[in-house]
């Protein structure tokens, strides 16, 4: 792994107690790289810490001892990721494959393994306990630890990463069995404690409470750099591991970051607002239609063009005509941000039609004939080698207009409320979703949902939330899930905020069940806990303070609006956002 050799023995000796591993194995790698056991021990210590300041301190202590690839992998792993967000790699290992791998290495049936996971309600603890029991069982039979004897190599974070990257690269019919054998081998070489965190890592849910915010602060502390510089570099690079490596090199390296074609950047997000408030606070603002399609990011360098979905997955082959239209619109090297809608007989089609195109793998030509895809570009992040995200919107818009000959989303700049209301009315009349108001002096802030982009749409309040659990339905719905536990995010943790059981058609329940059925982590009575990945947009009448859910809030009359499979867990509502909405709602009531 990149040849990052540490100089002295026991750089992680501060962990004190080590699990009993074969001494010969320990000697081989301990002095050189971060063993996976050290990673697991670090996680174990962090898991016990509840205060953010102490967590930041402890993390920074570890970060400052790491280098190169080890530093990169540690930052990713400890925040529950394997690959950076821009990476095309997806691990593609669900709970089923994990159960199979564990079953293969212990004297237990698959049902025993699943039973233990259900009992514990946590994959990591269950796997740890299964391996511990196995160790004891073998010992009593043969008087020595079979598990230790099975070790053929000591795991380190670099080799674990390599194995997982190998998994992500596998394609085709035999890929599942090859993945299984890689994962089985990893567990065979893991001590129970390592297996606990390995299992959680494979589910990309480490449960130790290290969010991106804590990691940013820890990087700043470890390498004595300004946290705002860390944040800025993260926004541009979309890779905290890389940011840590630059921070280690020093302030200058960190300040000199550029976004790169084909490394997609997180999308800037909008929060709810009103025309009156936007004008009162800012004077003239830029108004654009809010198109109800799918977000895209288009990257072009020389003759190569690629297009990415809102979740930063590459969708170039699914949308050839959109790529062609955009290629025709510019001769420059660019990174563009926009929304693509589907049009039939001059009218926008529902958003689901566009999503279907994003997911399409076959019969793309036939689909192209059916509906016309129209991209609207509203921002430019990169032009001919120059990163533009720090420029104010009004300057980015000038670059956009100079670089593109077509496809630019029309914009009205005005401080006049009736002019902006007229634009809003026209947008709805033309079949679009509402209005976007943008602050002219604002930079492009990837991944940030702030006051610089405001969305205005009619109707109920809605929120995007992660589905983290479900309950089997009753009566004619007994074969599908009938209600769903939803969560918002807070510093990398998912916190429940309520359940939704209304607003679904029978077909939608079937479709949702089909998507979720292979992602059940554990089951208890009628309830299941789910691997979090699916996002629902839900409507609600009010937010209430509630002790019943971890978030401290609950939604009144929650209603399913639609699945947002264009959105990922990082796009869901934050606890802070809910607090703000709650505050606004309370002040509206009293005011």
Site for ligand AMP, rule CB under 6 A: 267, 269-270, 288-291, 295, 339, 378, 409, 436, 455
Of these residues, 196, 290, 300, 311, which one is catalytic? 290
Buried b or exposed e, range 251-267, using 16+ CB within 10 angstroms: eeebeebebbbebbbbb
Q: Which is nearer to ligand AMP, 135 or 396 (CB)?
A: 396
- Residue 464 beta carbon to ligand AMP: minimum distance, rounded to whole angstroms: 7
CA nearest to 268, candidates 376, 355, 352, 381: 381
Query: How deeply is 9 buried, as exposed, middle or buried, from its count of CB atoms within 10 A (0-12, 13-18, 19+)?
Result: exposed
Q: What DSSP element (H or E) covers 295?
A: strand 294-301
Ramachandran region of residue 75, left (φ > 0), alpha (ψ -120 to 50) or beta?
alpha
- Residue 219 beta carbon to ligand AMP: minimum distance, rounded to whole angstroms: 28
Contacts of 554 (CB under 8 A, 6+ apart): 497, 498, 543, 544, 545, 546, 548
Instruction: Give me the phi and psi of 244, to 5 degrees please.
Output: -65, -40
Beta-carbon neighbour count of residue 495 at 10 Å?
20
Contact 234, 266 (CB under 8 A): no
One DSSP character per residue, 149-167 reads HH--S--BHHHHHHHHHHH
- Residue 408 beta carbon to ligand AMP: minimum distance, rounded to whole angstroms: 11
Cα–Cα dist 571/564, whole Å:
10
Contact 71, 82 (CB under 8 A): no
Cα–Cα dist 459/588, whole Å:
17
Examine the residue annotation and report whether 526 is marked as an active-site residue of this protein.
no
CA nearest to 517, candidates 229, 50, 95: 95
Residue 452 DSSP SS3: strand
- Residue 558 beta carbon to ligand AMP: minimum distance, rounded to whole angstroms: 17
- Residue 461 beta carbon to ligand AMP: minimum distance, rounded to whole angstroms: 11
- Residue 409 beta carbon to ligand AMP: minimum distance, rounded to whole angstroms: 5
- Residue 549 beta carbon to ligand AMP: minimum distance, rounded to whole angstroms: 22
For residue 165, the Cα-to-chain-centroid distance in whole angstroms is: 18
- Residue 503 beta carbon to ligand AMP: minimum distance, rounded to whole angstroms: 17
Q: Which is nearer to ligand AMP, 1 or 440 (CB)?
A: 440
Query: How deeply is 572 buried, as exposed, middle or buried, from its count of CB atoms within 10 A (0-12, 13-18, 19+)?
Result: buried
Beta-carbon neighbour count of residue 140 at 10 Å?
8
- Residue 249 beta carbon to ligand AMP: minimum distance, rounded to whole angstroms: 34
User: In the 8-state DSSP scheme, what is residue 544?
Assistant: E
Residue 547 half-sphere exposure toward CB, CA atoms < 13 A: 0
Ramachandran region of residue 539, left (φ > 0), alpha (ψ -120 to 50) or beta?
beta
- Four-point Cα dihedral 12, 18, 21, 27, nearest 10: 30
Catalytic positions are: 290
């Amino acid at each position: 792994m990149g040849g990052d050799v540490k100089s002295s023995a026991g750089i992680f000796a501060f962990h004190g107690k080590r699990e009993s591993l074969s001494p010969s194995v320990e000697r081989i790698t301990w002095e050189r790289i971060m063993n996976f056991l050290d990673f697991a021990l670090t996680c174990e210590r962090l898991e016990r810490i509840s205060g953010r300041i102490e967590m930041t301190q402890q993390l920074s202590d570890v970060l400052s001892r790491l280098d190169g690839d080890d530093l990169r992998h540690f930052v990713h792993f400890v925040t529950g990721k394997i690959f950076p967000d821009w990476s095309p790699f997806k691990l593609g290992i669900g709970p089923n494959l994990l159960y199979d791998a564990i079953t293969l290495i212990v004297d237990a049936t698959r049902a025993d393994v699943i039973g233990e996971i259900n009992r514990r309600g946590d994959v990591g603890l269950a796997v740890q306990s299964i391996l511990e029991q196995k160790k004891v069982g073998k010992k009593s039979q043969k008087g020595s630890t079979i598990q230790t004897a099975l070790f053929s190599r000591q795991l380190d974070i670099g080799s674990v990463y390599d194995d997982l990257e190998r998994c992500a690269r596998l394609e085709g019919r035999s890929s599942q069995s090859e993945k299984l054998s890689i994962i089985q081998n990893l567990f065979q070489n893991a001590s129970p404690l390592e297996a606990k965190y390995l299992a959680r890592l494979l589910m990309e849910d480490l449960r130790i409470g290290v969010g991106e915010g804590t990691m940013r602060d820890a990087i700043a502390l470890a390498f004595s750099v300004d946290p705002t510089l860390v944040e800025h570099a993260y926004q541009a690079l979309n890779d905290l591991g890389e940011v840590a490596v630059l921070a280690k090199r020093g302030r200058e390296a960190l300040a000199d970051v550029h976004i790169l074609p084909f490394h997609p950047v997180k999308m800037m997000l909008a929060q709810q607002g009103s025309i009156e408030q936007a004008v009162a606070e800012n004077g003239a603002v830029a108004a654009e239609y809010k198109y109800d399609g799918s977000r895209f990011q288009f990257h072009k360098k020389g003759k190569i063009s690629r297009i990415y979905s809102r979740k930063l997955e590459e969708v170039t082959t699914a949308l050839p005509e959109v790529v062609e239209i955009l290629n025709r619109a510019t001769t420059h090297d660019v990174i563009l941000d926009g929304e693509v809608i589907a049009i039939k007989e001059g009218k926008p089609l529902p958003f689901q039609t566009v999503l279907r195109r994003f997911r399409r793998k076959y019969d793309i030509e036939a689909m192209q004939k059916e509906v016309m895809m129209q991209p609207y570009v509203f921002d430019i992040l990169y032009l001919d080698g120059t990163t533009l995200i720090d420029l104010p919107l009004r300057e980015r818009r000038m670059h956009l207009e100079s670089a593109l000959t077509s496809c630019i989303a029309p914009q009205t700049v005005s401080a006049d409320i009736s002019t902006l209301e007229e634009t809003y009315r026209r947008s709805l009349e033309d079949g679009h979703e509402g209005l976007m108001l943008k602050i002219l002096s604002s930079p492009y802030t990837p991944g940030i949902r702030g006051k610089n982009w405001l969305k205005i749409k009619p109707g109920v309040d809605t929120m995007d939330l992660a589905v983290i659990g479900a309950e089997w339905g009753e009566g004619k719905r007994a074969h599908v899930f009938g209600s769903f536990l939803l969560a918002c995010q807070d510093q990398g943790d998912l916190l429940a905020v309520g359940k939704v059981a209304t607003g679904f058609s029978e077909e939608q329940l079937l479709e949702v069940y089909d998507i979720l059925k292979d992602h059940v982590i554990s089951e208890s009575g009628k309830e299941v806990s789910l691997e979090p990945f699916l996002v629902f947009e839900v409507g609600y009448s009010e937010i209430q303070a509630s002790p019943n859910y971890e978030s401290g809030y609950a939604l009144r009359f929650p209603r399913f609006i639609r699945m947002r499979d264009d959105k990922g867990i990082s796009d869901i509502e934050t606890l802070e956002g809910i607090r703000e909405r709650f505050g606004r709602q309370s002040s509206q009531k009293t005011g």
